[in-house]
């Protein structure tokens, strides 16, 4: 699904990311972990063609993401608040994203009803996205990312700012999407969540892949030991 070849992102003298080879197969559920500055968001941004690589390339379905916009047809993503349109209401925003993927207002309404336990649209019908709390902004961004039932889902720290119920709901939802065929790539600082839902963990440090392995019953303990100060 995703292939990373000799990928480098360098800012001045600082190498933010350097990965020789990395493959993400269809239907995998991958968790990126690492300290601040490890290169998690940089990697996700490069996969989404938001930043230009200094060297190398990212291929999605064997096509360079920088050479074609085809990947946008089957990729859902939410990295941060910059992915939200601040002056739209949550429903308007979801309708905007839905329409881009050929969905009408009724489809979006049904989608919101299905996910009402995660986000109650009626409670925020008169608010613009910019007026929502960080948690609710995250919820809207996450919902928008899988509104079109994408083949590839990319989320940066999806559990951040969410209340416990929403975190639990999101874990179940992501597992369900993955079981239905969606390839998922998330980053997270929450080792417990990430080891719980992901089938493969990639540990980044200083822009390099330190460890890349399938999740096992020992993964959480190993990671906790690695990050121990």
Partner 1 sequence: MYELFIHQWKEKVRSSFWQKNIFLNILLGILGLYFVANIVVVSLFADKILLKIYTDRNVVEAFTGLLFYYFSFDLIVRFLFQQLPTISIQPYLTLPIKKSLLLHYPLLRSITSFFNVFAVLLFLPFFIKNIWFTQSFQFSFTWIIIALSLVGTNNFLNFSLKKYFSKIPLLILTFLGALALIIYLDITNVYSFSDYFAEVVYYLSANSLFVILPVSILALSYYSAYSFLRNHAYIEDPHSKAAAKSAGLTIFDQFGEIGQLIGLEVKMVLRNKRPKSLLYIGGFFVLYGFMFYRKENLEDYFIMSFMGLLLTSWFSINYGQYLFSWESAYFDAILANKIGSFNYIKSKHLFFSLTSILGYLTILPYAFISYKIALINAAFLVFNIGITSVIILFFCLFNKSYIDLGKSQMMNFQGTGVVQYLLLIPIAGLPFLIAFLCNALGGLQYYYYAIAAVGFLGIVFNKNIIQSIANKFERRKYKMAAGFREK
**Contacts with partner 1, residue ranges (CB under 8 A):** 48-52, 69, 72-73, 75, 77, 79-80, 82-89, 92, 96-97, 99-101, 125-128, 130-131, 148
DSSP per residue over 91-136, as a string? HHHHHHHHHHTT--HHHHHHHHHHTTTT--GGGGTT--GGGS-HHH
* CB 103, min distance to partner 1, A: 11
Token output for 174: 């992501």
Instruction: Choose between 103 and 193: whose C-beta lies nearer to partner 1.
Output: 103
Pinpoint the alpha helices (H) of 162-213: 164-179, 191-197
**In angstroms, what is the minimal distance from the CB of 121 to partner 1?**
12
Give 88 or 160: the residue with its C-beta nearer to partner 1.
88
C-beta of 23 vs 130, nearer to partner 1: 130
CB of 186 to partner 1, least distance (A): 15
Q: Which is nearer to partner 1, 84 or 143 (CB)?
A: 84
Place of tokens 């292939």: 3
Cβ atoms of residues 146 and 153 within 8 Å? yes
State in angstroms the smallest separation of the CB of 90 from partner 1. Answer: 10
| Paired strand residues for 178 | none
């Amino acid at each position: 699904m995703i292939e990373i070849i000799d990928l480098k992102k360098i800012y001045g003298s600082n190498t933010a990311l350097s990965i020789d080879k990395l493959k993400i197969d269809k239907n995998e559920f991958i968790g990126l972990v690492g300290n601040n500055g490890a290169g998690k968001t940089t990697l996700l941004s490069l996969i989404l063609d938001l930043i230009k690589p200094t060297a190398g390339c990212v291929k999605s379905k064997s096509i360079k993401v920088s050479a074609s916009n085809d990947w946008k047809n089957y990729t859902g993503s939410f990295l941060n608040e910059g992915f939200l349109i601040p002056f739209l209401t949550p429903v308007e925003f979801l309708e905007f994203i839905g329409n881009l993927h050929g969905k009408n207002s009724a489809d979006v309404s049904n989608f919101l009803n299905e996910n009402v336990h995660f986000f109650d649209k009626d409670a925020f019908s008169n608010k613009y996205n910019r007026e929502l709390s960080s948690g609710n902004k995250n919820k809207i961004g996450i919902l928008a990312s899988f509104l079109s039932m994408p083949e590839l889902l990319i989320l940066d720290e999806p559990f951040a700012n969410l209340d416990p119920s929403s975190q639990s709901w999101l874990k179940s939802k992501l597992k369900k999407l993955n079981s239905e065929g969606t390839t998922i790539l998330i980053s997270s600082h929450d080792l417990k969540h990430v080891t719980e839902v992901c089938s493969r963990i990639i540990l980044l440090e200083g822009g390099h892949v330190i460890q890349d392995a399938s999740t096992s019953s020992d993964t959480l303990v190993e990671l906790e030991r690695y990050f121990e100060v």
